Amino acid sequence: MRSRNDWQRRADALEIEVSKTRLEGVLLIDTRFFRDERGFFIENYHQQRFAEHGITADFVQDNHSGSNRGVLRGLHYQDMTAPMGKLVRCTAGAIQDVAVDLRVGSPTFGQWVSAELSQQNMRQIWVPPGFGHGFVTLSKYAEVQYKCSGFYTPSSEGTIAWNDPDLKIDWRIPEPQVSQRDRQGMSLAAYLKQPAFQYHAGGLR
């Protein structure tokens, strides 16, 4: 029978470390996990711990995709008629994950951050509403799972061109494989003519 101290040590071992990025609201989450000769165990989401770090989204949908090396998906968003934040992790292989600030008026509008997510580092990224999101597969094959704070709503969806010259994103893959829809993504300049998000102190509108 486990003692109280055993359970406390187990709880402490599963604490999360949350790091801010240069884009306000986009966070990197590193969760401590157990690994031994049998495999591993991780609590990839714990509502109370996440809330302590300001991630209070009510997740309503889980998505899971598999992609071969060089497949690029993005840059996607849903506007304020059906806003969607994403808590993203890579459960097989490795990806480069990218978030782009689409909040007009933000001091970092049009800027991006990236992080490598893999089955080894078990890192996650929180991309709230107001940002474009995409990723490219770095390994031979990768699986990505993400929790969504809103339901998928095609009428609210938008796509920014992954290779927009104003963004200058370094995807680390010279010629990625992109869907027809993503090849037709709009430029940042076109987005500015009818933006989906407006930034103001304290939130979006």
Report the alpha-carbon distance of residue 184 to residue 177 in Å, rounded: 13
Report the alpha-carbon distance of residue 119 to residue 78 in Å, rounded: 27
- What is the reported pLDDT for 86? 98
Dihedral sign (CA 50, 77, 187, 173): positive
Active-site residues: which are they?
Answer: 76, 146
Report whether 80 contacts 88 (CB < 8 A).
no
Q: Give which of 67, 74, 59, 80 is closest to 167, Cα–Cα.
A: 74
- What is the reported pLDDT for 43? 82
Report whether 97 contacts 135 (CB < 8 A).
yes
Dihedral sign (CA 166, 171, 176, 178): negative
- What is the reported pLDDT for 1? 46
Q: Locate 172 and state its tokens.
A: 């680390």
Alpha helix (H) residue ranges in 32-111: 47-52
Question: What is the value of pTM for the model shown?
Answer: 0.90
Report whether 159 contacts 182 (CB < 8 A).
yes
- What is the reported pLDDT for 202? 65
- Mean pLDDT for back-to-back runs of 10 residues, the chain (205 residues): 47 78 97 79 87 95 98 98 98 98 97 97 97 98 98 98 97 96 97 95 71
- What is the reported pLDDT for 14? 67
